[in-house]
A and B are shown apart, each in its own frame.
Chain A
Amino acid sequence: MLSRVAERIYWMSRYLERAENTARLVSVYSQLLLDLPAEAELDWGTPLQILGVGDAYRAGGSDQGELEYLLTGRGNFASLLASLHQARENARTTRDIVPSEAWQAINELQLFAENSLPAMSRRPGSGVSGDIVRRCHEITGILEGGMSHGPAYQFVRLGRSLERADMTSRMIDVAAAIMMTGRESLEHQGNTVWRAVLRALSAYQMYRQYVRRRITGVDVLAFLLHDRAFPRSVMFCVGQLDVAAAALPRHEAARGKVAALRGGLAALDLESLDYETVHRFIDDLQLEFAELHNTVFETWLNPVRRM
């Protein structure tokens, strides 16, 4: 299989997952804005920071609001619309490989987003983010059930799992950032914050089945980082990365990185953590995700070694 084709499929999958999670992030945050007291002083700057475009937004002197920038921002390569555009472009150039139903669904999603995101930036709580998430699920389903699980599919899986793990960790970071402000009034709001994060990750119901007591930060962190069965937990995604890598040739370096990631994750003792430490751990985790991406790139997407 050509590296170029693998690369396009990998990015198609990553961008789709990023778009889905950006929609989830907007939905969790708009909920929090409604639920938390005014003295929490929340604004849309935090999610921009979490997605790594806060500085670019401020430097660009955009006349768009923060939420608008996040959804459709001109020049924002990480906007929801830009992610969908990238997903579509990568799907379009691999139409021989990707099932045509998936291409069609991606195309329709892009059109839907173009039409409905401007309205969403005025009313973030409307159903649009839910619609985007649902359409992403549809595409994931077509790929899962309509594409041979050969090498090409492993790049779908790699892209999806890496992006999902990354975005779940960023979502945790949103919560940690809010809690870290350390305002007295927030102490008893922790429940609200964590519940919103769980909802955004479609994790609330599963969490309830897993932990049958009052929601606490420690339990939620354990669930979102360590749970082996919930498909959006970081540990589950890391497991999927290993499954994908194992099915590809010359996987030693990538599997080594995955094993290290898994080890670090398992060693994290959540009982004794404060939010400051959580934030730092997530930072490190994201560096490791970036390194794993580099390994994927060097091994399969742009090989320089002869056979």
Chain B
Amino acid sequence: MTVGFPGRRTLTDKARRPIDWAGYDPAGSYDDMIGGEGGPRPAARELAARLASLSPQELADRQHAAEQAIVSMGITFTVYSEGQNIDRAWPFDIVPRTLDRAEWSRIERGLKQRLRALNHFIDDIYHDQRIVRDGRFPREVFETSKNFLPACVGANPAHGVWANICGTDLVRDKDGTMYVLEDNLRVPSGVSYMLENRSVTKLVFPELFERQEILPVDDYPAELFNMLISLSPRPGDEPEVVVLTPGIFNSAYFEHAYLARRMGAELVEGGDLLVGDDDCVYMRAIEGLTRVDVIYSRINATFLDPEVFEKDSLLGVPGLIRAWRGGKVAIANAPGTGVADDKVVYVYVPDMIRYYLDEDPILPNVPTHQCSDPRALEYVIDHIGELVVKPANESGGYGMLVGPAASMSEREAFRDVVRKDPRNYVAQPVINLSTVPTIVGPRLEPRHVDLRPFILQGADMYVTPGGLTRVALRKGSLVVNSSQGGGSKDTWVVGPGQPARPE
């Protein structure tokens, strides 16, 4: 009998042998790396060849190296548990998720198209409401939305753009179709992890970056900064940009600090800002009060200004909405943008694209039942075991029911919840989510993933090549949220498809 530490055994013959793909079975899901015939898809060819040359031990060593790098770089996320905030190391799987560049350029066009339409919609809703008068969008949907903010009616953010930063969640179904699952328009997070995942992966697989063209993602902070200064009310000067955070207790504080550092912007809290008699916004600094031009806000809009919204908010700045409406300061995303971040509004986005842009939607929606429609409600009640039922206004995977995974009593309880407040619920068929090989012990096993690209719109538009791939680390699970046991992967948009240097 061999005596040793678990996980630190000496290299056996078995461990030296290359990874065994024979037992790899995506069980009917679309796999982003391995195609129908068991071979790698074109974008994954180099990666698969490299993985095949590694032994399980070598793969485990690289995973270990990545985890060490994450700890020493201090990449954490915060979970709220048992009354305390706990910083956890970011769970990361080293095997990247690959996307074909040709497919990606289509997705990119689709994402831009979608955000342009959404911004037309928000601007329209806060002005003439043409889309309502033309009978293409029901008035009661936004009138009953808690994200429609009357204080924003008639406001004119720069370039007519309200949602400057959007994180759109994409999922791929069994047949390979990429669907839009939701548009996160309030304070989408995750982009710092996308950037950090890439820097870790470069440490782990440097050779693959030399051998093929993987689109870079590192431009994001510079693109974000350029977008933000394009909103400045004083375009001639050197605008003062700040990142507004709720503070260190926020689960995304790491990201706020990261983006501020990468842009060279101050990371401010509400108490650091004040609105002067001239309606301009100033930051309290040791040099004195310094005028602020652009606020990248990571605070929910309703906490921004206690004079207008939540009276008890200590996070906000009294008078901020007045300053913003007066055009003295830009806020990204603009207050009120959340009206379009609603799972009921989501249903209408393809129509918006046709209505405002006169184009056909490039990316399809997941078919969605609106429970506010009595017939749809009846269907949802009857088929709740086959559907994913979500509240219209929540994010982070909270308050939803995954029918097939729920018990009979959970389903029954949720039927009551939906019946009581049908406007606030939508239901979708279960999308099986594509899989990507993921390290599980000594083997690679398929795990389900989604994708969150980030889209910027100011004077120009920008889409991150790829985005943040989130992975459900539990076998068979479709829940990818990091707050609920999800991890992440680097995402490679690979092209033009040929290795730069053939072997």
If the complex has contacts A93-B248, A306-B276, are A6 and B286 also in contact, measured as CB distance less than 8 A?
A: yes
Whether the pair A2, B288 counts as a contact (CB closer than 8 A) is no
Whether the pair A2, B285 counts as a contact (CB closer than 8 A) is yes
Nearest Cβ in chain B — how far from A301, in angstroms? 8
Q: Does B399 make an interface contact (CB < 8 A)? A: no
Proximity bits, B265-293, A CB within 8 Å = 1, else 0: 01111011000100000111111111100
Residues from chain B with Cβ under 8 Å of A2 in the complex: 266, 268, 272, 283-286
CA distance A4 to B286 in the complex (A): 9
Nearest Cβ in chain A — how far from B434, in angstroms? 38
Which B residues, 173 to 197, have Cβ-Cβ distances below 8 Å to chain A? none
Which A residues, 266 to 307, have Cβ-Cβ distances below 8 Å to chain B? 300, 302-307
Q: Does B366 make an interface contact (CB < 8 A)? A: no
CA distance A1 to B287 in the complex (A): 7
Which B residues, 242 to 274, have Cβ-Cβ distances below 8 Å to chain A? 248, 257, 261, 266-269, 271-272
Which A residues, 51 to 109, have Cβ-Cβ distances below 8 Å to chain B? 92-93, 96
CA distance A92 to B283 in the complex (A): 22
Which A residues, 1 to 40, have Cβ-Cβ distances below 8 Å to chain B? 1-4, 6
From A305, which residue of chain B is reached at the shortest CB distance? Answer: B288
Residues from chain B with Cβ under 8 Å of A3 in the complex: 272, 284-286
Residues from chain A with Cβ under 8 Å of B291 in the complex: 307
Proximity bits, A217-249, B CB within 8 Å = 1, else 0: 000000000000000000000000000000011
If the complex has contacts A2-B266, A93-B248, are A250 and B288 also in contact, measured as CB distance less than 8 A?
A: yes
Whether the pair B286, A306 counts as a contact (CB closer than 8 A) is no
If the complex has contacts A2-B266, A2-B268, A4-B269, are A303 and B248 also in contact, measured as CB distance less than 8 A?
A: no
Residues from chain A with Cβ under 8 Å of B286 in the complex: 1-3, 6, 151, 248-249, 300, 303
Residues from chain B with Cβ under 8 Å of A306 in the complex: 276, 282, 288-289
CA distance A96 to B257 in the complex (A): 8
CA distance A171 to B152 in the complex (A): 60
Whether the pair B269, A303 counts as a contact (CB closer than 8 A) is no
CA distance A89 to B47 in the complex (A): 46
Whether the pair A305, B289 counts as a contact (CB closer than 8 A) is yes
CA distance A2 to B282 in the complex (A): 11
CA distance A1 to B289 in the complex (A): 11
CA distance A93 to B247 in the complex (A): 9
Residues from chain B with Cβ under 8 Å of A93 in the complex: 248
CA distance A24 to B489 in the complex (A): 53
Whether the pair A249, B287 counts as a contact (CB closer than 8 A) is yes
Nearest Cβ in chain B — how far from A135, in angstroms? 24
Nearest Cβ in chain B — how far from A122, in angstroms? 32
Residues from chain A with Cβ under 8 Å of B284 in the complex: 2-4, 302-303
From A250, which residue of chain B is reached at the shortest CB distance? Answer: B288
Which of A92, A96, A306: most chain B Cβ within 10 A?
A: A306
Give the A interface residue count (CB, 8 A): 19
Residues from chain B with Cβ under 8 Å of A92 in the complex: 248
Residues from chain A with Cβ under 8 Å of B269 in the complex: 4
Residues from chain B with Cβ under 8 Å of A305 in the complex: 288-289
Task: Pick from B266, B271, B290: contact of A307, CB below 8 A.
Answer: B290
Nearest Cβ in chain A — how far from B1, in angstroms? 42
Whether the pair B288, A4 counts as a contact (CB closer than 8 A) is no
If the complex has contacts A2-B284, A4-B284, A93-B248, are A303 and B268 also in contact, measured as CB distance less than 8 A?
A: no
CA distance A4 to B247 in the complex (A): 12
If the complex has contacts A2-B268, A3-B272, A306-B276, are A250 and B287 also in contact, measured as CB distance less than 8 A?
A: yes
CA distance A165 to B486 in the complex (A): 53
Nearest Cβ in chain B — how far from A52, in angstroms? 28
CA distance A304 to B274 in the complex (A): 10
Whether the pair A303, B288 counts as a contact (CB closer than 8 A) is yes
Residues from chain B with Cβ under 8 Å of A300 in the complex: 286
Residues from chain A with Cβ under 8 Å of B290 in the complex: 307
Residues from chain A with Cβ under 8 Å of B267 in the complex: 96
Residues from chain B with Cβ under 8 Å of A303 in the complex: 284-286, 288-289
Nearest Cβ in chain B — how far from A218, in angstroms? 41
Whether the pair A1, B282 counts as a contact (CB closer than 8 A) is no
CA distance A175 to B502 in the complex (A): 84
Residues from chain A with Cβ under 8 Å of B257 in the complex: 96
Residues from chain B with Cβ under 8 Å of A250 in the complex: 287-288
CA distance A92 to B261 in the complex (A): 18
CA distance A303 to B290 in the complex (A): 10
Nearest Cβ in chain A — how far from B292, in angstroms? 11
Residues from chain A with Cβ under 8 Å of B268 in the complex: 2, 4
CA distance A96 to B269 in the complex (A): 15
Residues from chain A with Cβ under 8 Å of B261 in the complex: 96
Residues from chain B with Cβ under 8 Å of A151 in the complex: 286
CA distance A306 to B284 in the complex (A): 9
Whether the pair A1, B276 counts as a contact (CB closer than 8 A) is no
Nearest Cβ in chain A — how far from B149, in angstroms? 28
CA distance A132 to B290 in the complex (A): 41
Which B residues, 281 to 339, have Cβ-Cβ distances below 8 Å to chain A? 282-291
Nearest Cβ in chain A — how far from B415, in angstroms? 46
A–B complex contacts, Cβ < 8 Å, 9 sampled:
A2-B284, A2-B285, A2-B286, A4-B268, A96-B267, A248-B286, A302-B284, A303-B286, A305-B289
Closest 9 CB pairs of A and B: A3-B284, A307-B288, A300-B286, A306-B289, A1-B286, A303-B288, A249-B287, A6-B286, A4-B272
User: Which residues of B pack against A, CB within 8 Å?
Assistant: 248, 257, 261, 266-269, 271-272, 276, 282-291
Known pairs A1-B287, A3-B272, A4-B272; list 6 more (Cβ under 8 Å).
A4-B268, A4-B271, A250-B288, A300-B286, A303-B285, A306-B289
